[in-house]
Every structure is written in structure tokens, then in C-alpha cells.
Structure 1
Amino acid sequence: MKKNLSSISIIKRLVKRDIKMSFIPFIFKMIPFYFVYILYNVLFIFSQRGYEIIDVKNTVFNIYKGCEYITNLVNQNLNSGFQFPIFWLLINAYILYVVGDYISNDMKCNGKYVLIRVGKIQYIYISKVIWASIAIIIYYGSLLAITCVLANLNYSGVYKIMSEHYNKIGSIELIAQVFILFSMTSIAVSAIFTALSFKIKSLYAFLVSIVLYATSVFVESKFFIGQHSIILRHVPFEYTHNFTILDSVVFTVITWSCFFIIGYKIIIKTDIF
């Protein structure tokens, strides 16, 4: 790249390169997941026919709701009904795998070449962070679009009295909340993964990130990152902890910022190739 290019121009070119280089691998990795995701949606919709409302709001809610606090279930004598939200974890984990795999492989295979071209490794790091955010946004946008289309195609307005909390939120608001919470959480976790992967193997960084998600299910602290993509633990579905979408946005932004800085400091001091 030309030396007279500004830092912003270099980063823009690197992001474009990442988008171009990752496009085919991203598509191939997403095809099997899209198949599983569509199948899960279809099976859920079929299971609800006849006694449950099938619409966008109900379908999105049930696919992405996660789980309640265990203490809430205990207080309601429903603790025996606790089920670990496996599909919630899968949705969160798969995009981390896709993003992490591309970043790791590209840095190993092309990192030295790109570094020679741009001169500063921090440009590569920043471009990877931006690319990861773009990929995550596209990922959740596409998943929600699939769910909305399938729900509309199978619409069934069977009357059923829903909970008071459920009725407090509209379809568009729910979709927006799901998109924001899942995207922001994944972007924050991707920053954690990237920073860790400069110090430990990518596989271990991935496993640590998954553990962070999984342990969040069993605790009530807002400092566990996975909490921030569990819909049932946010207002208006749960008021005991008064956990709002704004709380999650603020926490994930702070988390992302901290680990972005940590990763930045690590990468300029470490020979990662």
C-alpha cells in the first residue's frame, strides 16, 4: 500500500480486504448452520400449531428467549423445570467460531505479507475488529430475517391469553431488542476472544469464551457477559433485577472497549506470527 495513505484509508482498505477474503469461507460455514437454524424454526412452528399463536413476535421470542433466573424458578417452585438453553448457546457460539476461525487463519497465513504492506500491525488488528463487528451484525440480521419470514408464512392467529409482561412489548420492539442484545454481546465477546487469542491458542480462547456464556446461565451477576443476551432476564420480562437493555448496552460497550485496548496493547508488543 502506498505510504502517503492516511491511517483511516489503510484501515478501510484492510476492512474491504477482510470482507472480500472472508466472503466465501463465511458463506460455506454458514450454510450448515442456516440449515439447522431453519429446521429448528420449522419444528418449533409445527409444534405450536393448533394451540399457540404463530406470528413473528411469538416465534422470535421463543427462539431467542434464553432462560429465567434459577432463583426465580425456585421461588415459584418450578426449579425442576429448568432447562439449559442449548440453542441460545449455539446461536451465540457459532458466530464466535466463524469470526475467530477467520481471524486466526488469516493472521497465520497472510499476516506477515499484510504487515509488510501496511507497515503497522495495529492497522491489521483494528480492521479485524471492525470486520468482526460487521460479520456479527450480518449474522444476527440474517437469522432474524429468516425467523420473521418463516413465522409470516405460517401465521396462525389462535387466541391465547399471554402473560402481562409479554404483552408489554410489540413485535418490532422485541426484534430490535433481540438484535441489539445479541449483537452487542457477541461483539463484546469477540473482543475478549481476540485479545485472549494473542496470548493463548485460539481453541482455548474460544473455549474460555463459551465458558463465559455457559456460566452466565447459572448466575445472576450482570458482570457475566452472557447475561446480556438472555431476553427473559431483561425488562419487561423480568422486573426483580430491573435489568434493562440500556444496562446491557452500556456494559457491553465498556467490555468491548476494555478488551479492545488490551488487545491493542498486546498486539503491538507481541510477535504473533
Structure 2
Amino acid sequence: MRPIRILFRRDFIHGFQLNFMKWILAGVVLVLIVLWAIWNRVDGENKGILILVNILEGYAPGEGENLKLPADWLAIHILFLYVIGQYTSEDFRVNGTYIFPRVRNPWRWWVSKILWTVLSVVLYYGLLLAVGFVLSLLLLPAILPVKGLGEFELLMAAVLLSSALTLLMGLLQTVLSLWFSTIMSFFVTLAVLMICCYVQSIWLPGDYGMLIRSTYLETHNLWDLTAAFLYFSVSCTGLAFAGHYVIRGKDVLPKSE
């Protein structure tokens, strides 16, 4: 565990130093997204921080209706993909030759990167919640940011499902970037997100990461989210092993490995 702690501390410091300006830009864009949602709210609805629920709930195309682009939902996920960017793949290509012989096991390096991605998701959604809370408090002063336990649970369900989807997409982009170019991995992940918007299937993460497609909206029973988190747990675990497989096949690994 000690090598993983050392690597994770390095990723925490080095990763956020390299991506500092990206985080600043992310904060600005999140402010704009929330402001846009507040500006376009329907009078009497979407009050307080629950505006974030409308941003994060996703999109479920109705039968016979014209397709719409869930721009705010897509922006939230695309922005995170931009923030984590090429840090893992660049570190692998630039520093892998020096790090892997020292840690003796590429799995430790990869676990550190997974933990860094998880932490990035937590901080990202923490930033989004902070932006939503402050702006709703300032611009909608007559409305409490969260009114009652029911609204809080609805908000948390939207955040948990969306963050799980964001983590899965972040890991997918990271694994692909180890195999292909950073640009290609980004556009492949973007294509998966676009497919999730318009194709409803039990095999796609969109059906599990969008609150609007969840039975929780009807039952308000947190147990209805179990299938979603089981899906994301299995998928993220599969990507973790796929990333390790890719790393072990690269030339930067010592021959003893």
C-alpha cells in the first residue's frame, strides 16, 4: 500500500498542478451552465439548487417527438473529459520508463491513476454543487437552495448517477488514451456519450446514469438505484483490468514484468 500512497500523493500534486488552468476554466464554464439553467427556468419550477437536477437528469427521447440536444448534460461530461485530459497517458509515455522499475508493479501505478480519476470526479461535482448553491442563493434569494429531505434525496440521486457515469466515461477515455492517441480517445468517448443520449438500451451506461430514465423518479426508493451502481461497478472494474492489460503490453515495462 505504501507505494500506492506515494504515487497517489504525487498524482494529487503533479496532476492538479498541470491541470490548474483547466480547473479554473471548468469553474467558469460551470458557472455559465448554471446561469443558463437559471435564466431558462420555468416560473414556479426548477427553483433553488434543484436546477442542477434538470441539468444532470439527462434526456429521454419520447416516441414521435423531435429529438433535442441535451446541451447542458453533455457539457457537464465533456468538460470533465477535457479537465482530466491527457495527464495519465502523458505520464505513462514520459515517465513510465523511470517509474515502473521503481514501483516494480505497473498495477500500483495504474491504481494510483484510477484513484486520481475518482478524486477528480468528487472534486468536480463538489465544485458543481458549490456553484449551484451559491448562484441559487444569490439569484433566487426568496428560495431556499434545498427545501426538505425529499428534494435533497432527489438532488443526491441525480448527482450520484451522473458522477458514476462521468467516472465511467473518464476511465474509458483514459484506457483508450493508453492505446490510441488522446484526440482519438476523446472523440470515441464523446461518440459513446452521444449514443447514450438517443439510444435507450440496458447495455449502454446512459440508461443507468440518467435520472430521468430511472424508476427512482416514480418510487423515490433509493433501492431502485442498486442496478445502476451494480452496472457502473462492473463496468469500471472491467476498465480497470483492461487498462492494466494495456499497460503490461507496452515496451516501457521492464522485461522482468
Please indicate the TM-score interval, normalised by the length of the shorter structure: 0.7 to 0.9
Is the 1:96–1:206 contact (alpha carbons within 8 Å) kept by the matching residues of 2?
yes
Gaps of 5+ in 1: 1-7, 159-168
Alignment partner, residue 135 of structure 1: 120
Question: What amino acid sits opposite 1:269 in the alignment?
Answer: G
Out of 138, 150, 153, which is 2:135 matched to? 150
Alignment partner, residue 193 of structure 1: 173
2:225 matches 1:245: yes
What SS does structure 2 have at the residue aligned with 1:271? coil
Question: What amino acid sits opposite 2:59 in the alignment?
Answer: C
Identity of aligned residues (%): 24
Alignment partner, residue 163 of structure 1: none
Is the 1:184–1:252 contact (alpha carbons within 8 Å) kept by the matching residues of 2?
yes
Shift of 1:192: 2.3
TM-score (norm. length: structure 2): 0.85
CA distance in 1, matches of 2:177, 2:39: 41
Alignment partner, residue 32 of structure 1: 25
2:76 matches 1:91: yes
Out of 24, 37, 52, which is 1:44 matched to? 37
Is the 2:26–2:83 contact (alpha carbons within 8 Å) kept by the matching residues of 1?
no
Is the 1:121–1:268 contact (alpha carbons within 8 Å) kept by the matching residues of 2?
yes
CA distance in 2, matches of 1:52, 1:208: 36
Alignment partner, residue 15 of structure 1: 8
Question: What amino acid sits opposite 1:155 in the alignment?
Answer: L
Is the 1:188–1:253 contact (alpha carbons within 8 Å) kept by the matching residues of 2?
no
Out of 56, 61, 66, which is 2:53 matched to? 61
Aligned length: 247
2:228 matches 1:228: no
Shift of 1:181: 0.9
Q: 1:142 to 1:109 in 2, by over 3 A?
A: same
Question: What amino acid sits opposite 2:233 in the alignment?
Answer: V
What SS does structure 2 have at the residue aligned with 1:11? helix
Is the 1:132–1:190 contact (alpha carbons within 8 Å) kept by the matching residues of 2?
yes
Q: 1:86 to 1:195 in 2, by over 3 A?
A: same
CA distance in 2, matches of 1:21, 1:139: 17
What SS does structure 2 have at the residue aligned with 1:247? helix
2:249 matches 1:269: yes
2:99 matches 1:100: no
Report runs of 4+ in structure 1 exceeding 6 Å deviation: none
Shift of 1:139: 0.6
CA distance in 2, matches of 1:53, 1:201: 41
2:97 matches 1:112: yes
Shift of 1:143: 0.7
Alignment partner, residue 218 of structure 1: 198
CA distance in 1, matches of 2:74, 2:128: 14
Question: What amino acid sits opposite 1:198 in the alignment?
Answer: L
Shift of 1:13: 0.5
Question: What amino acid sits opposite 1:250 in the alignment?
Answer: L
Alignment partner, residue 4 of structure 1: none
Is the 2:97–2:252 contact (alpha carbons within 8 Å) kept by the matching residues of 1?
no
Question: What amino acid sits opposite 2:248 in the alignment?
Answer: I
Question: What amino acid sits opposite 2:41 in the alignment?
Answer: Q
Q: 1:89 to 1:102 in 2, by over 3 A?
A: same
CA distance in 2, matches of 1:188, 1:247: 15
CA distance in 2, matches of 1:98, 1:87: 17
Shift of 1:50: 5.3
Q: CA RMSD in A?
A: 2.6
CA distance in 1, matches of 2:174, 2:34: 31
Q: 1:201 to 1:47 in 2, by over 3 A?
A: closer
2:238 matches 1:258: yes
